[in-house]
Structure 1
Amino acid sequence: MTDLWQNSMDHAVAAARRAGQVVQQALQDDRKVMTKSSSVDLVTQTDQRVEQLIIQSVKEKFPTHRFIGEESVAAGEPCVLTDDPTWIIDPIDGTTNFVHAFPFVAVSIGFSVNKQVEFGVVYSCLEDKMFTARRGRGAFCNGEPLQVSHQTDIKQSIIATEFGSSRDPEAVDKIFSSLRNVLCIPIHGVRGAGTAAVNMCLVASGCVEAYYETGIHVWDVAAGSLIVSEAGGVLMDTEGGEVDLMSRRIVAANNRTIAERIIREIDPFSPTRDDAPSKSSQ
């Protein structure tokens, strides 16, 4: 049977690795920092350069494919997921990490057809870890199979989350209310890599039992969501039910029991483009 998307995935892996080399080189140079929605919502010239590098290479090879890119949307492009083959790109997930040389910076590329992610590539470029997944074919890190944790007791778990880029007191209060509730279950601890893509790969790797966040975007989680599910994990909305990658809410967990327990502790709020944490690159 013809494999429709293997060439696309091979291209995504190669593009992510090239992008990672650009990021690594940029860390040695002057990192000019700009802001988007707030003083802590950062973007660099490297974000923009990497996204254009990926998009241009895809356009040359797959001219009929569509794109959703973080920096393109920030520049005014629509963020609409259609049934067409679509590349969903976060050129630097962890921009604040990148600015501070904090060692978790990822290039994230998801590929969707009929609004379903067919493959995901997350390259944690400073760690040189290439996470990949194909729908129905498993998840891998540098070619080795991934498997979520077998832990079923949330009190024996580590949970990952992030704090977003909003510093609006009401939004911050809700974030910390949820964090307090989760921490006091009690759990073993809370962690956060500063990038949604890496946090989800940590779930897929079995290092943490779950990751939750409200206010993320589809480019933060498209690739990682498939990596989690192909490693045996589950995806849910923070308000319960199945996840919608366009909803800006996600719980990624090793099993449904832990996901549902976390959902019961989250103080819900509805993210908008302006008032919610806008990305996971704190």
Structure 2
Amino acid sequence: MADWTDCLNFGISIAKQASEVGVMATNENAVKLKSSPADLVTETDQRVEKILISAIRNRYPQHRFIGEESVAAGEHLELTDSPTWIIDPIDGTVNFVHRFPFVAISIAFTVNRQTQFGIVYSCVEDKLFYAQRGGGAFLNGEPLHASGQQGDITRVTSHMCYITHDIMSRDDVALSTMTSNIRRLLQFPVHGVRALGTAAVDMCQVATGGADAYYHIGMHCWDIAASAIIVQEAGGVVMDTDGSEFDMMSRRVIAASSAAVADRIAQVIQAFPCCRDDEDNCGCGATGVN
């Protein structure tokens, strides 16, 4: 089995370097719309992605890339068996624009379509989450462990905090489904529902044990690829919202402290129509914005 530790260490290094661009640009006013009023892109998103891809390409010229801004600019999204870096240069662009302090650089690395490591650097907090397949998950060098919450979440008063994501679609069907899902979950004895505005950091809260579950429908592979392996290596469970095996291209995810919790959420929530990331000419309206 190949050892991708050198790639992991390099990814951590360039994530921290690139974050300096974002931190320095917190007063940026050059904001553009992509697919909706909530789907924003800034010059900093594009600049950070170029910095990351340029650095990786110089060191690993044979590797491939999937980047949020590159795809938005028209590049074809295809996950192959080749070593591939999946990059979200600023996860939480809306937060970034409004100076809400949860903004992250997210980097995943896949080989044979399997994630080998993930890096999520929450820039303002200076929190570095990372994990390598079979090597555990860490936050600033300290091991991470999911809470391991078990039991029947419908009957037992639990310590659970479900994290759902921002309202990322303005489509009537999607809005109705999302609000209905929240109502269903709040019928359980949960302590609360929270969202930080960045899928990557939200999902990493499951890895820390601070949250017991997270679900999202309509995001993109670059939003969750890195944090998924971080949750798994912390002892958590990641699956599709229909209860099947996790597929980062499906644009649906449940991350939970245990299989029991993940399965119960899958039984309760409903999905809305959402094209796959690797499906061309999508018109479903699920923007997956942050």
When the two structures are superposed, what TM-score results if normalisation uses the length of structure 1? 0.96
Determine helix, strand or coil for the equivalent of 1:246: helix
Determine helix, strand or coil for the equivalent of 2:210: coil
Aligned equivalent of 2:23: 24
For structure 1, the residue ranges without an aligned partner over 5 or more in a row are none
Following superposition, the deviation at residue 165 of structure 1 comes to 2.5
Q: Is the 8 A contact 1:163 1:175 kept in 2?
A: no
Aligned equivalent of 1:196: 199
Q: Is the 8 A contact 2:128 2:139 kept in 1?
A: yes
Q: Is the 8 A contact 1:40 1:165 kept in 2?
A: yes
Aligned equivalent of 1:68: 66
Q: Kindly provide the amino acid, as one letter, of the partner of residue 7 in structure 2.
A: S
Q: Deviations over 1:226-248 (max 9, x none)?
A: 00000000011101111111000
Aligned equivalent of 1:53: 51
* In structure 2, C-alpha distance between the alignment counterparts of 1:59 and 1:31, rounded to whole Å: 30
Of 139, 142, 159, 1:141 maps to 139
Following superposition, the deviation at residue 106 of structure 1 comes to 0.4
After TM superposition, the structure 1 = structure 2 runs for residues 2-21 of structure 1, keeping only pairs within 5 Å, are: 4-21=3-20
Q: Is the 8 A contact 2:181 2:270 kept in 1?
A: yes
Aligned equivalent of 2:210: 207
Following superposition, the deviation at residue 81 of structure 1 comes to 0.6
Q: Kindly provide the amino acid, as one letter, of the partner of residue 222 in structure 1.
A: A
- 1:241 lines up with 2:244 in the alignment: yes
After TM superposition, the structure 1 = structure 2 runs for residues 1-282 of structure 1, keeping only pairs within 5 Å, are: 4-27=3-26, 29-153=27-151, 154=153, 155-156=157-158, 157-272=160-275, 273-281=282-290
Determine helix, strand or coil for the equivalent of 1:123: strand
* In structure 1, C-alpha distance between the alignment counterparts of 2:49 and 2:99, rounded to whole Å: 20
Following superposition, the deviation at residue 270 of structure 1 comes to 2.3
- Residues 280 and 233 of structure 1, relative CA distance in 2, 3 Å threshold: farther
Determine helix, strand or coil for the equivalent of 2:179: helix
* In structure 2, C-alpha distance between the alignment counterparts of 1:274 and 1:215, rounded to whole Å: 12
Identity %: 51
* In structure 2, C-alpha distance between the alignment counterparts of 1:55 and 1:31, rounded to whole Å: 24
Q: Kindly provide the amino acid, as one letter, of the partner of residue 224 in structure 1.
A: S
Q: Is the 8 A contact 1:162 1:194 kept in 2?
A: yes
Equivalences, count: 279
Determine helix, strand or coil for the equivalent of 2:249: coil
Q: Is the 8 A contact 1:9 1:119 kept in 2?
A: yes
Q: Kindly provide the amino acid, as one letter, of the partner of residue 126 in structure 1.
A: V
When the two structures are superposed, what TM-score results if normalisation uses the length of structure 2? 0.93
Determine helix, strand or coil for the equivalent of 1:52: helix
For structure 2, the residue ranges without an aligned partner over 5 or more in a row are 276-281
Following superposition, the deviation at residue 152 of structure 1 comes to 1.6
Following superposition, the deviation at residue 3 of structure 1 comes to 5.5
Q: Kindly provide the amino acid, as one letter, of the partner of residue 279 in structure 1.
A: G
Q: Is the 8 A contact 2:236 2:258 kept in 1?
A: yes
